[in-house]
Protein backbone atom coordinates (compact mmCIF):
# COMPACT_ATOMS: atom_id res chain seq x y z
CA UNK A 1 0.00 0.00 0.00
CA UNK A 2 2.78 2.43 0.95
CA UNK A 3 4.40 2.38 -2.50
CA UNK A 4 1.10 2.76 -4.33
CA UNK A 5 -0.06 5.68 -2.20
CA UNK A 6 3.36 7.33 -2.43
CA UNK A 7 3.27 7.08 -6.23
CA UNK A 8 -0.27 8.52 -6.38
CA UNK A 9 0.63 11.46 -4.09
CA UNK A 10 3.78 12.18 -6.16
CA UNK A 11 1.88 12.09 -9.45
CA UNK A 12 -0.85 14.32 -7.99
CA UNK A 13 1.72 16.83 -6.70
CA UNK A 14 3.40 16.92 -10.10
CA UNK A 15 0.05 17.55 -11.82
CA UNK A 16 -0.73 20.33 -9.32
CA UNK A 17 2.73 21.84 -9.92
CA UNK A 18 2.11 21.76 -13.69
CA UNK A 19 -1.12 23.77 -13.16
CA UNK A 20 0.78 26.10 -10.78
CA UNK A 21 3.18 26.86 -13.63
CA UNK A 22 0.29 28.30 -15.72
CA UNK A 23 -1.61 30.13 -12.99
CA UNK A 24 -2.84 33.13 -15.03
CA UNK A 25 -4.81 30.87 -17.38
CA UNK A 26 -6.50 28.73 -14.69
CA UNK A 27 -10.29 28.87 -14.40
CA UNK A 28 -11.25 29.87 -10.84
CA UNK A 29 -14.67 29.86 -9.12
CA UNK A 30 -15.93 31.00 -5.73
CA UNK A 31 -17.33 28.16 -3.60
CA UNK A 32 -18.35 30.61 -0.87
CA UNK A 33 -17.06 33.76 0.84
CA UNK A 34 -13.22 33.71 0.73
CA UNK A 35 -13.37 30.11 -0.51
CA UNK A 36 -12.03 29.36 -4.01
CA UNK A 37 -11.77 26.32 -6.25
CA UNK A 38 -9.91 26.10 -9.54
CA UNK A 39 -9.73 23.62 -12.40
CA UNK A 40 -6.42 22.52 -10.84
CA UNK A 41 -8.18 21.34 -7.65
CA UNK A 42 -10.74 19.42 -9.71
CA UNK A 43 -8.22 17.92 -12.11
CA UNK A 44 -5.90 16.74 -9.30
CA UNK A 45 -8.82 15.27 -7.33
CA UNK A 46 -10.00 13.36 -10.45
CA UNK A 47 -6.52 11.89 -10.88
CA UNK A 48 -6.23 10.82 -7.23
CA UNK A 49 -9.74 9.33 -7.18
CA UNK A 50 -9.10 7.37 -10.38
CA UNK A 51 -5.74 6.01 -9.18
CA UNK A 52 -7.08 5.06 -5.73
CA UNK A 53 -10.09 3.30 -7.26
CA UNK A 54 -7.74 1.31 -9.53
CA UNK A 55 -5.45 0.31 -6.65
CA UNK A 56 -8.07 -0.23 -3.92
CA UNK A 57 -11.35 -1.05 -5.70
CA UNK A 58 -13.27 -1.96 -2.51
CA UNK A 59 -12.35 1.20 -0.60
CA UNK A 60 -14.54 4.29 -0.39
CA UNK A 61 -13.59 7.84 -1.45
CA UNK A 62 -14.39 11.26 -0.01
CA UNK A 63 -12.88 14.34 -1.64
CA UNK A 64 -13.08 18.06 -0.94
CA UNK A 65 -14.16 18.76 -4.53
CA UNK A 66 -16.91 16.13 -4.57
CA UNK A 67 -15.23 12.75 -5.11
CA UNK A 68 -17.46 10.21 -3.41
CA UNK A 69 -17.69 6.43 -3.51
CA UNK A 70 -19.22 4.13 -0.93
CA UNK A 71 -16.84 1.75 0.84
CA UNK A 72 -17.20 -2.02 0.57
CA UNK A 73 -14.15 -2.67 2.76
CA UNK A 74 -14.85 -0.37 5.72
CA UNK A 75 -11.92 1.81 4.58
CA UNK A 76 -12.31 5.28 3.02
CA UNK A 77 -9.64 7.46 1.37
CA UNK A 78 -10.14 11.12 2.28
CA UNK A 79 -8.63 13.52 -0.25
CA UNK A 80 -7.73 17.20 -0.38
CA UNK A 81 -6.27 17.68 -3.88
CA UNK A 82 -4.84 21.12 -3.04
CA UNK A 83 -5.00 22.24 0.58
CA UNK A 84 -4.24 25.97 0.62
CA UNK A 85 -6.01 26.82 -2.65
CA UNK A 86 -5.88 30.55 -1.84
CA UNK A 87 -2.09 30.41 -1.53
CA UNK A 88 -1.80 28.27 -4.66
CA UNK A 89 -3.80 30.75 -6.74
CA UNK A 90 -1.69 33.68 -5.50
CA UNK A 91 1.59 31.94 -6.33
CA UNK A 92 2.57 31.11 -2.73
CA UNK A 93 4.37 27.97 -1.56
CA UNK A 94 2.09 26.88 1.29
CA UNK A 95 -0.14 24.30 -0.39
CA UNK A 96 -0.10 20.52 -0.46
CA UNK A 97 -1.75 17.41 -1.83
CA UNK A 98 -3.22 15.28 0.95
CA UNK A 99 -4.39 11.64 0.87
CA UNK A 100 -5.46 9.97 4.11
CA UNK A 101 -6.98 6.62 4.98
CA UNK A 102 -9.90 6.45 7.41
CA UNK A 103 -10.06 2.92 8.81
CA UNK A 104 -11.77 1.52 11.91
CA UNK A 105 -13.15 4.98 12.58
CA UNK A 106 -9.83 6.87 12.67
CA UNK A 107 -6.94 8.12 10.51
CA UNK A 108 -4.66 5.14 9.91
CA UNK A 109 -2.27 6.08 7.10
CA UNK A 110 -1.47 9.16 5.05
CA UNK A 111 0.72 10.85 2.48
CA UNK A 112 1.11 14.58 1.94
CA UNK A 113 3.19 16.32 -0.70
CA UNK A 114 4.01 20.04 -0.74
CA UNK A 115 5.91 20.41 -4.05
CA UNK A 116 6.88 24.09 -3.65
CA UNK A 117 8.25 23.37 -0.16
CA UNK A 118 9.92 20.17 -1.33
CA UNK A 119 8.31 18.17 1.49
CA UNK A 120 6.90 14.66 1.11
CA UNK A 121 5.64 12.90 4.25
CA UNK A 122 4.17 9.42 4.51
CA UNK A 123 3.26 6.99 7.28
CA UNK A 124 0.91 6.19 10.10
CA UNK A 125 0.58 4.36 13.41
CA UNK A 126 2.69 1.21 13.26
CA UNK A 127 3.85 1.99 9.69
CA UNK A 128 6.64 4.47 10.51
CA UNK A 129 6.78 8.15 9.59
CA UNK A 130 9.08 9.48 6.89
CA UNK A 131 9.91 12.90 5.51
CA UNK A 132 11.68 13.07 2.16
CA UNK A 133 12.75 9.45 2.57
CA UNK A 134 14.23 9.82 6.07
CA UNK A 135 12.64 8.83 9.40
CA UNK A 136 10.75 11.72 10.98
CA UNK A 137 12.28 12.32 14.43
CA UNK A 138 10.08 12.64 17.53
CA UNK A 139 9.75 16.25 18.72
CA UNK A 140 11.78 17.38 21.75
CA UNK A 141 9.93 18.05 25.05
CA UNK A 142 7.41 20.94 24.90
CA UNK A 143 8.54 24.17 26.56
CA UNK A 144 5.66 26.60 27.19
CA UNK A 145 8.01 29.60 27.65
CA UNK A 146 9.10 29.45 23.98
CA UNK A 147 6.01 27.85 22.44
CA UNK A 148 4.39 28.73 19.12
CA UNK A 149 1.23 27.34 17.55
CA UNK A 150 -0.03 27.37 13.97
CA UNK A 151 -3.56 28.75 13.62
CA UNK A 152 -6.20 28.02 10.97
CA UNK A 153 -9.50 29.90 11.13
CA UNK A 154 -12.04 29.02 8.45
CA UNK A 155 -13.70 32.20 7.10
CA UNK A 156 -17.15 30.85 8.12
CA UNK A 157 -16.17 30.88 11.82
CA UNK A 158 -17.87 33.81 13.64
CA UNK A 159 -15.47 36.73 14.02
CA UNK A 160 -16.02 36.77 17.81
CA UNK A 161 -14.76 33.18 17.99
CA UNK A 162 -11.78 33.97 15.77
CA UNK A 163 -10.88 36.89 18.05
CA UNK A 164 -11.44 34.78 21.18
CA UNK A 165 -9.05 32.14 19.83
CA UNK A 166 -6.29 34.65 19.11
CA UNK A 167 -6.82 36.33 22.49
CA UNK A 168 -6.71 32.99 24.32
CA UNK A 169 -3.45 32.00 22.61
CA UNK A 170 -1.74 35.35 23.29
CA UNK A 171 -3.21 36.25 26.70
CA UNK A 172 -4.31 33.08 28.52
CA UNK A 173 -1.80 30.61 27.09
CA UNK A 174 0.88 33.29 26.63
CA UNK A 175 2.36 31.71 23.52
CA UNK A 176 3.10 32.88 19.96
CA UNK A 177 1.09 32.05 16.82
CA UNK A 178 1.69 31.65 13.08
CA UNK A 179 -0.68 31.19 10.13
CA UNK A 180 0.20 29.66 6.76
CA UNK A 181 -3.34 29.55 5.31
CA UNK A 182 -3.08 25.80 4.74
CA UNK A 183 -3.91 23.29 7.47
CA UNK A 184 -1.67 20.65 5.90
CA UNK A 185 1.26 23.11 5.71
CA UNK A 186 0.67 24.08 9.36
CA UNK A 187 0.67 20.39 10.32
CA UNK A 188 3.83 19.70 8.30
CA UNK A 189 5.35 22.57 10.31
CA UNK A 190 4.39 20.68 13.48
CA UNK A 191 6.21 17.62 12.10
CA UNK A 192 9.37 19.60 11.34
CA UNK A 193 9.27 21.67 14.55
CA UNK A 194 8.64 25.12 13.02
CA UNK A 195 5.63 25.24 15.37
CA UNK A 196 4.76 23.10 18.41
CA UNK A 197 1.15 22.45 17.45
CA UNK A 198 -1.91 23.61 15.57
CA UNK A 199 -5.25 25.14 16.50
CA UNK A 200 -7.90 24.81 13.81
CA UNK A 201 -11.50 26.09 13.84
CA UNK A 202 -13.96 25.05 11.12
CA UNK A 203 -11.51 22.53 9.65
CA UNK A 204 -12.61 19.67 7.38
CA UNK A 205 -11.65 15.99 7.65
CA UNK A 206 -9.81 16.20 4.30
CA UNK A 207 -7.56 18.96 5.72
CA UNK A 208 -6.41 16.52 8.43
CA UNK A 209 -6.67 12.88 7.30
CA UNK A 210 -3.37 12.77 5.38
CA UNK A 211 -1.06 14.23 7.97
CA UNK A 212 -2.55 13.35 11.40
CA UNK A 213 -1.62 9.63 11.15
CA UNK A 214 1.98 10.60 10.33
CA UNK A 215 2.09 12.92 13.36
CA UNK A 216 0.53 10.27 15.61
CA UNK A 217 3.43 7.96 14.77
CA UNK A 218 5.88 10.52 16.27
CA UNK A 219 3.84 11.18 19.42
CA UNK A 220 1.75 14.18 18.33
CA UNK A 221 -1.93 13.85 19.30
CA UNK A 222 -5.15 15.83 18.95
CA UNK A 223 -8.18 16.77 21.02
CA UNK A 224 -10.50 15.08 18.48
CA UNK A 225 -12.71 12.22 19.61
CA UNK A 226 -12.84 10.19 16.39
CA UNK A 227 -15.86 8.22 17.64
CA UNK A 228 -17.96 11.37 17.26
CA UNK A 229 -16.35 12.93 14.17
CA UNK A 230 -18.61 13.43 11.13
CA UNK A 231 -16.29 13.17 8.09
CA UNK A 232 -18.43 15.71 6.22
CA UNK A 233 -18.67 18.19 9.09
CA UNK A 234 -16.57 21.10 10.39
CA UNK A 235 -14.11 20.39 13.18
CA UNK A 236 -12.50 22.44 15.95
CA UNK A 237 -9.29 20.92 17.24
CA UNK A 238 -5.90 21.31 18.80
CA UNK A 239 -3.03 19.13 17.60
CA UNK A 240 0.27 18.85 19.43
CA UNK A 241 2.12 17.29 22.33
CA UNK A 242 -0.03 16.51 25.40
CA UNK A 243 0.95 19.64 27.44
CA UNK A 244 -0.10 21.90 24.53
CA UNK A 245 -3.42 20.04 24.16
CA UNK A 246 -4.06 20.66 27.88
CA UNK A 247 -3.06 24.34 27.57
CA UNK A 248 -5.40 25.13 24.65
CA UNK A 249 -8.26 22.67 25.23
CA UNK A 250 -10.26 25.03 27.54
CA UNK A 251 -10.61 27.44 24.60
CA UNK A 252 -12.51 24.87 22.53
CA UNK A 253 -15.24 24.52 25.15
CA UNK A 254 -15.70 28.30 25.40
CA UNK A 255 -16.50 28.97 21.72
CA UNK A 256 -19.95 29.41 20.18
CA UNK A 257 -19.04 27.57 16.95
C1 LIG B 1 -8.39 25.49 3.78
C2 LIG B 1 -7.06 25.66 4.46
C3 LIG B 1 -7.12 26.66 5.59
C4 LIG B 1 -8.19 26.32 6.60
C5 LIG B 1 -9.54 26.19 5.89
C6 LIG B 1 -9.45 25.15 4.77
P7 LIG B 1 -8.52 24.59 1.23
O8 LIG B 1 -8.34 24.42 2.83
O9 LIG B 1 -6.61 24.44 5.00
O10 LIG B 1 -5.90 26.69 6.30
O11 LIG B 1 -8.25 27.32 7.58
O12 LIG B 1 -10.49 25.77 6.84
O13 LIG B 1 -10.70 25.08 4.12
O14 LIG B 1 -9.92 25.11 1.02
O15 LIG B 1 -7.49 25.54 0.77
O16 LIG B 1 -8.36 23.20 0.70
Q: How much distance in Å is there from the Cα of 50 to the middle of ligand 1?
A: 23
Quick one: which H or E segment has residue 209? none
Indicate the average pLDDT of the chain.
Answer: 96
The residues facing 199 across adjacent strands are 151, 238
Alpha carbon 96 to chain centroid distance? 8
Segment 103-122 shows an average pLDDT of: 97
What is the distance between the alpha carbons of residues 47 and 57, in angstroms, rounded to a whole number?
Answer: 15
SS3 18: helix
* Dist. CA 44–CA 67, nearest whole Å: 11
234 CA to centre of ligand 1 in angstroms: 11
Among protein residues, the one with the nearest Cα to ligand 1's atom 5 is 154
145-157 confidence digits (pLDDT tens): 999 999 999 999 9
Percentage, residues of the chain above pLDDT 90 = 94
- pLDDT digit string (tens) for 158-195? 999 999 999 999 999 999 999 999 999 999 999 999 99
Helix (H) or strand (E) holding 157: none
Q: What is the length of the chain? A: 257
Residues flanking ligand 1, CB < 6 Å: 64, 80, 83-86, 152-154, 181-183, 202-204, 207
CB-based burial label for 26 (10 Å; 0-12, 13-18, 19+): middle
Q: Is the pTM of this model over 0.75?
A: yes
Confidence class for position 78, pLDDT limits 50, 70, 90: very high
Q: How many CB atoms lie within 10 A of CB 237?
A: 23
> Shortest CA distance to 47 belongs to which of 36, 39, 59?
39
Q: How far is CA 93 from the centre of its chain?
A: 15
Does residue 34 surpass a pLDDT of 90?
no
Cβ proximity of 248 and 147 under 8 Å: no
Distance 77 CA to ligand 1 centre (A): 18
DSSP conformation letters of 21-43: TTGGG--EEEEETTEEEEHHHHH
Q: In this structure, which residue's CA is closest to atom 2 in ligand 1?
A: 182
Amino acid sequence: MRNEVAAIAREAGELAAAHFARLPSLRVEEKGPLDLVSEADRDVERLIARRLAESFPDDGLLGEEGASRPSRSGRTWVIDPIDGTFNFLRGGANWAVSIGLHEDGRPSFGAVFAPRRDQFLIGGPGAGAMINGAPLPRRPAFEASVAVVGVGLHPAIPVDDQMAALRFIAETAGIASRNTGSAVSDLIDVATGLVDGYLGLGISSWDLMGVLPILEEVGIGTTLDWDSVDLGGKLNLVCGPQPLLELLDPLLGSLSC
